[in-house]
Structure 1
């Protein structure tokens, strides 16, 4: 049961990380203002650090 919860958490965290990466690229590279209200530039690096920590340290 604990392993299943961990896998679900990692999957959801990876999903959010990919969405955040898309918003990061759209905001920084393409200068899009579509995500201005829900995105700031610290979100992608923080989610990446959380994902790496959760997936490699058990």
Structure 2
């Protein structure tokens, strides 16, 4: 696997999936791309959801 695409919506389930995708990417030396998948919200809410996903990844070391 060279590339992995993970969708993140800010939910707990998305956090778990993101961590799993990161572990798989690390195991196989793959590039992980994360996209934000949210309903039409104002920009500040989308920014907060993206920040949450980034913090989830950073928290894993």
TM-score range, shorter chain: 0.3 to 0.5
| Structure that is richer in helix per residue | 1
TM-score (norm: length of structure 2) = 0.39
| Structure that is richer in strand per residue | 2
User: Whose Rg is larger?
Assistant: 1
TM-score (norm: length of structure 1) = 0.41
